[in-house]
Amino acid sequence: MNREDVLAKVPFGQFIEGSFVSTADTFQVHDPATGEVLAEVSDAGPMHAKAALDAACWVADDWAATEPRKRAEILRRAYELIVARGDEFATLMTLEMGKPLAEARGEVAYGAEFFRWFSEEACRIEGRWTTAPLGGNRLLTMQQPVGPVYAITPWNFPLAMGTRKIGPALAAGCTVVIKPAKLTPLTMLYLMQTLKDAGVPDGVVNCVTSSNSAAVSKPIMEDPRLRKLTFTGSTEVGRTLLKEAADGVLRTSMELGGNAPFVVLADADVDQAVAGAMPAKFRNNGEACTAANRFYVHESIVEEFTAKLVAEVEKLVVGPGMDQATTLGPLIDDDAVAKVKELVDDAVAKGAKVLTGGAPIDGDGHFFQPTVLADVPRTARLLREEIFGPVAPIVTVDTDDEAIKLANETEFGLMAYVYSRDISRVVTAAERLESGMVAVNTGVVSNPAAPFGGVKQSGLGREGSHEGLEEYLEIKYLGIAL
Ligand code: NAD
Interatomic CA distance for residues 236 and 41, integer angstroms: 26
Question: What is the reported pLDDT for 127?
Answer: 96
Question: What is the reported pLDDT for 331?
Answer: 98
Question: What is the reported pLDDT for 1?
Answer: 79
Give ranges for CATH 3.40.309.10 in the chain: 260-446
HSE-up of 244 (CA within 13 Å, CB side)? 22
Question: For 102, phi and psi rounded to 5 degrees?
Answer: -65, -35
Known catalytic residue at 255: yes
Q: Is 133 left (phi over 0), alpha (psi -120 to 50) or beta?
A: alpha
Between the CA of 154 and the centroid of ligand 1 the distance, in Å, is 4
Q: Which residues contact 144 (CB under 8 A, 6 or more apart)?
A: 64, 173, 473, 474, 476
Q: What is the DSSP track for 379-434?
A: T-GGGTS---SSEEEEEEESSHHHHHHHHT-SS--SEEEEE-S-HHHHHHHHHHS-
Ligand 1 neighbourhood includes 100 CB (under 6 angstroms)? no
393: which strand partners? 373
Between the CA of 297 and the centroid of ligand 1 the distance, in Å, is 31
Closest Cα to atom 41 of ligand 1 = 255
Between the CA of 153 and the centroid of ligand 1 the distance, in Å, is 6
Ligand 1 neighbourhood includes 414 CB (under 6 angstroms)? yes
Ligand 1 neighbourhood includes 258 CB (under 6 angstroms)? yes
Question: What is the reported pLDDT for 73?
Answer: 98
Between the CA of 221 and the centroid of ligand 1 the distance, in Å, is 16
Question: What is the reported pLDDT for 137?
Answer: 94
Ligand 1 neighbourhood includes 234 CB (under 6 angstroms)? yes
Interatomic CA distance for residues 350 and 170, integer angstroms: 50
CATH superfamily of 260-446: Aldehyde Dehydrogenase; Chain A, domain 2 (3.40.309.10)
Using only C-alpha atoms, the chain has a radius of gyration, in whole angstroms, of 23
Ligand 1 neighbourhood includes 412 CB (under 6 angstroms)? no
Interval 403-457: pLDDT, tens: 999 999 999 999 999 999 999 999 999 999 999 999 999 999 999 999 999 999 9
21: which strand partners? 14
Ranges in the chain, pLDDT < 50: none
Interatomic CA distance for residues 218 and 40, integer angstroms: 24
Give ranges for CATH 3.40.605.10 in the chain: 3-255+457-480
Interatomic CA distance for residues 346 and 376, integer angstroms: 10
Interatomic CA distance for residues 11 and 25, integer angstroms: 16
Ligand 1 atom nearest residue 463's Cα: 40
- For residue 301, the Cα-to-chain-centroid distance in whole angstroms is 33
Ligand 1 neighbourhood includes 257 CB (under 6 angstroms)? yes
- Catalytic entry in 113, 121, 255, 470: 255
ipTM, 2 dp: 0.97
Q: How far is CA 2 from CA 104, 159, 342, in A?
A: 15, 20, 37
Which top CATH class is 3-255+457-480?
alpha beta
Summary count for the chain: helices (H), strands (E): 16, 22
Nearest to 257 by CA among 455, 462, 475: 455
Nearest to 321 by CA among 439, 184, 164: 184
Question: What is the reported pLDDT for 293?
Answer: 98
How many of the other CB atoms lie within 10 Å of CB of 42? 23
HSE-up of 334 (CA within 13 Å, CB side)? 6
Interatomic CA distance for residues 475 and 377, integer angstroms: 49
